[in-house]
Structure 1
Amino acid sequence: MAVSFRWLTPLLAALVLSSLTGCDDDDPVPPSPDAGAPDSGVPDSGVPDAGPPDSGPPDAGPPDSGPYVWDGTYTEMEDPGDWIDPGAPYAPCTFDTSNPDSGVCEQLSRFDVSRCDRDALAALPQEGIYQAAIRDVIPLGDGGVRIAGTTFGLKLQGGTPDTSTMFGNPLRYRDTEGGDFAVIGEIPRTSTTFTVVGCKTPAPNVILGCIATCRRGVVTRTGTFEAHRVAKQNEPEASGGLTLVGEGYTPVGTPVDVYVTKGHAYVVSTPMRDKDGGLSIFDVSNPRNPILRTKLSLPGDNFWNGVWAKGDALYIASEDRGTLVYDISKPAEPLFIRSLPTGNPGGAHTVLVDGDRLYSMDTNTATYVHDITDPLNPVLRTVIGTPPEKPDGAPHDSFVYQNRLYISNQFGGYVVADVTDLDNVSFLGLYDSGPGIYSHHSAVGTFGGKTIAFMGAEFNASHVRVLDVTDPTHIVKIGEFRLRQTTSMHNMLLRGNRLYVVWYHDGLRVLDVSNPTKPKQVAHHLTFREEDPDRGDLMFEGAIGLRIPGDGYIYVVDTSRGLLIFNEL
């Protein structure tokens, strides 16, 4: 992309290097822009003029009778992680690592492509945005193999000058015509070079090939990949009666989250290149014709990543100053009241309202809980840290259900805490999906007399895990729903027996989870288009934010297109 969020360079560098170089001294992976915390599953007790509640009934599961009742039985499943090893290299090409010298990764002659299909490569279009699953061979001398939790992004555009990119940075080299397919990209901050060579095209818009990675001229990884042109899928644009009825573009940064109340949609954005982030307010009294009424951006404080509301108060997660409180008694004319500081350094990444409590998640430290009996005058009640089993974790997002706080604790697992008494918060248990899994988001409800959590990770190959959390000391996996290994899911909302998921490049997905052991897709709508303004090659592109306020519509945020409004199923 031509995007440069403040988090972008360290995120990609840390993610790629931790996956491809194995170095322990790289920066930790910071959170991606996020579409806010999930809805809490309990009614929003805002004042009458606050619009419909933004969360479901106390029991977010399906009705107690009818044809879709699940009897609560299941078979416990193993958790292999996000990546599923295909068991063999993706492509019949190799990279020669013998006698390495300076610039070894840029020596294309080291790639053996004798068994590749030049005719198929010659027929590839000369443009497209690709994401890839990479199967690394670790050069340890013992033939170690792993599936890398990373990707490369490749944007190929013809013309002069060539604006092709990898990881959002201009390509250093490109030769993709006449049966050759070789591109070289770099992350300048870490002096890491990636050489990508195509070999096969087993299906339309799919490339198989080899990759070599060097850091400061030294080979760190070699392997094979499967790359998908993410905007060109072998499925229709929409299914299941999911229809786009309204759309509103915002020029404010990169839109990432939305909250709907008082007949208005409040969209927050993070900075993007030369555009500040901030707030865009759409009048959605007619959802089929959203009208941009207000744009707001503050110099030095506009990395706004999450948003929620209660009554006349709007809460915005600011990476600079914590949680910002605005008075929206005049819905299109927000008035700043105060900020609620969180950790030092850093601010709030996501926010969640549950009844008279405001939860602000600081991804560097802890969860800050405020009493919002008076919505415009929050009072700090407690700070919730991390369990002793995962002292290095920190909350990315949270979900409250039946007096339990479900914390997506980044690389520290999925944590359950009792928040009945804020003066005596206790950790009840955690689910550890394994090393390298980024616990990102969740939704919880009651099914078959059991408490069921739908846990989402992030980064490529992430997917929906279905967990029985009835006994937090013994959390087990009972189901899952996956899409392509080349894309990442993001946020989700549970409404009755429907789970709505925004899945970045793969758009909006609607799952029937009446039998949570076997989630089934019943509708989808693709939102990612290569031609949209500011569209790029990064993994955090496409459908990112989601709200279902109960007015008959689904409000989705796309990182380029802005506010998208669909009919509610």
Structure 2
Amino acid sequence: MRAFRTGLVLLTTAVTLVATGLPAAACDRDEKPQTPSARAQGAPGAVKNVQAVGNLPDAAGAISLNFLSIGRRDVMVVSGEFGLKSYDLANPAAPKLLGTLSLPGLWETEDTEVDPERNLIFLSRDPRAFGGTTHTGESGIYVVDVSRPEKPEILSYVKVPAGHTTSCVDGCRYLWTGGPAKADNMPADWGGRPIWVTDVRNPRKPVVNPNPIELARNDGKTDYVHDVQVDAEGIAWVSGRGGVRGYWTTGTHRDPVAGGVRRATALKPIPYAGGGISETAAPSKFMHNSLRPVGPRGRFGQLLYATEESFVDGCAGDGVLTISSLDGSYGGEGWRSTPDKPFRLKSVGTWSVAGQEGSDPTSADCSAHYFDLRGNVLVQSFYEQGTRFLDVSDPTNPTQIAYFRPADAAAWAPYFHRGYVYVADNKRGVDILKPQV
């Protein structure tokens, strides 16, 4: 997802789940593009301690949001199946459309990231975009200049062997791009696409390194990398099938896998910590996105929060948000894990939307998805189960304190911004919420 901009970030939550023995392809809904439906009218399905103050139905198909300060303006950038739209937030409850970059059929732009220093947006093109398939479709990255938000401009496009998500590392000097399922021309023993590194120091002429990284991530097997999030200390956390592993991309550090001390780069990162997630917490092994909260003096740096994305019949078995301890993983254990000698992080806590107050037991899609943190409050999207607010001051006992579940929810990602929460909803567009907690 993005490098989190939360200052003091606290703890998150997860879910208890029954072992399902899911096949690998069943773990990721993103394998099948969803068609946005018209926005349903009428009262929300369930609301508590949240005021809905606005909605942008013209952004139907929204998947990811970002916020930029451009001049004296507070600007929101919405990416999705339509391409890109920018909004002025002078009135935060009623954003005003500024400009549009039309790319209808773009898929998927999930967790789109920005370079706030250069006012650049990096849009990932999944091979399924514009009618393509994972087998033979083209993937790549659009570099978009939004310094004039009324007229977003594509500076460059470069083909990349991966394209489900693309993430900034090393201060957006480089991009790490991963996913989805492997193409027909990739090695038969790969379970999905790893990471390719693109140098975007010159945004008009991106350079893609031909050699992928983050191989052998799933007990020694190269597998699907879904997303990368960078924490407050600059460590890049790579989520996907097989768990979550963190890397230094800058500075000089000890390499716990190869031994010795060397300089980390985006092309040759140094392992930090992480590994597989305990199957008792996340049976599917598919980690969608993650975050290591870092507080004063690294107070909360020992915990790793990761969303499992998984869909089965009934909400009770759908994906969860896991809380794991990084203790015991700083010696490269997650890189030496094998099927015969698997390494797993110790589970600390979980939280599930299934059966919770405000939930709809008839919903088909209840998996945990992207989340954001502000102080002791976690906000998370759960597709048809809407947006949930949790008190996570005790990571072993997350407690729901508010929720917003419209009857037609397809919530993908929520974002705290200046006292509001903006929710990218694939059907409804963007919901603007005012928490009452």
**Do both proteins adopt the same fold according to a TM-score greater than 0.5, normalized to the shorter chain?**
yes
The Cα RMSD (Å) is 3.5
Closer, same or farther: CA 284–148 of 1 in aligned 2, 3 Å: same
Q: What secondary structure, in the 3-state scheme, does the structure 1 residue paired with 2:225 have?
A: coil
- Please say if residues 379 and 389 of structure 2, whose CA atoms lie closer than 8 Å, have aligned partners that are also in contact: yes
1:138: which partner in 2? none
Structure 1 residues 115-514: aligned runs within 5 Å: 237-240=46-49, 242-250=50-58, 254-261=61-68, 262=70, 263-270=74-81, 277-298=82-103, 303-310=108-115, 311=117, 312-319=119-126, 320-343=138-161, 346-352=162-168, 355-363=171-179, 364=182, 365-370=193-198, 383-387=212-216, 389-401=219-231, 402-409=233-240, 411-420=241-250, 421-422=264-265, 424-427=268-271, 428-434=273-279, 436-446=284-294, 448-460=299-311, 461-472=318-329, 473=333, 475-484=345-354, 487-514=366-393
What is the DSSP-based 3-state SS (H/G/I as helix, E as strand, rest coil) of the residue aligned with 2:163?
coil
Q: In 2, are the aligned partners of 1:305 and 1:318 still within 8 Å (CA)? A: no
Distance change (3 Å), C-alpha of 1:306 and 1:60: closer
- Measured in 1, the distance between the counterparts of 2:319 and 2:225 equals 18
Q: Distance in 2 between matches of 1:515 and 1:299?
A: 43
Paired residue total: 340
> 1:284, 1:358 → 2: CA distance?
29
Q: Distance in 2 between matches of 1:511 and 1:499?
A: 5
**Structure 2: unaligned runs, 5 residues or longer:** 28-33, 36-40, 127-137, 183-192, 251-263, 312-317, 334-343, 356-363
Helix, strand or coil at the partner of 1:386: coil
AA aligned to 2:270 is: S
Name which of 413, 416, 429 aligns with 1:562.
429
Structure 1 pair 496–341 and aligned structure 2 pair: CA distance change class (3 A) = farther
Can you list the C-alpha shifts for 1:477-509, whole angstroms capped at 9, x where unaligned?
111111217521111112222221111111111
Q: Determine if contact 2:63/2:110 at 8 Å carries over to the other structure.
A: yes
Shift, 1:357, TM fit: 4.2
Q: Name the aligned partner's letter for residue 372 of structure 2.
A: L
**Larger RCO (CA within 8 A; separation ≥ 6):** 2
Alpha-carbon distance in structure 1 between the residues aligned to 2:352 and 2:42: 19
Read off the aligned partner of 2:215 and give its amino acid letter: T
Partner amino acid for 2:63?
V
Q: Which runs of 5+ in 1 are unaligned?
A: 1-36, 42-54, 63-78, 86-145, 152-166, 169-230, 271-276, 530-540
CA drift of 1:298 comes to: 3.3
Quick one: distance in 1 between partners of 2:54 and 2:120? 26
Tell me, in whole angstroms, the C-alpha distance in 2 between the residues paired with 1:453 and 1:429: 8
Q: TM-score, normalised on structure 2? A: 0.67
Whether the 8 Å contact between 2:59 and 2:78 is mirrored in structure 1 is no
State the one-letter code of the partner of 1:40. Answer: A
**What is the alpha-carbon distance in structure 2 between the residues aligned to residue 294 and residue 317 of structure 1?**
20
Instruction: Provide Cα deviations, 1:426-481, integer angstroms capped at 9, x if missing partner.
Output: 34441244453321111211475542111111123211111112442462111111
The one-letter code of the counterpart of 1:267 is: V
Contact 2:292 2:303 in 1 (8 A): yes
Instruction: State the distance in 2 between where 1:493 and 1:300 align.
Output: 27
Superposed CA offset, 1:72-108 (max 9, x none): xxxxxxx9x96437xxxxxxxxxxxxxxxxxxxxxxx
| Aligned CA distance change for structure 1 residues 329 and 291 (closer, same or farther; 3 Å) | same
Percent of aligned pairs with the same amino acid: 22
Question: Which one has a bigger Cα radius of gyration?
Answer: 1
Question: Partners of 2:347 and 2:156 in 1: how far apart?
Answer: 42
Q: Structure 1 residues 251, 416: CA separation in 2 closer, same or farther (over 3 Å shift)?
A: closer
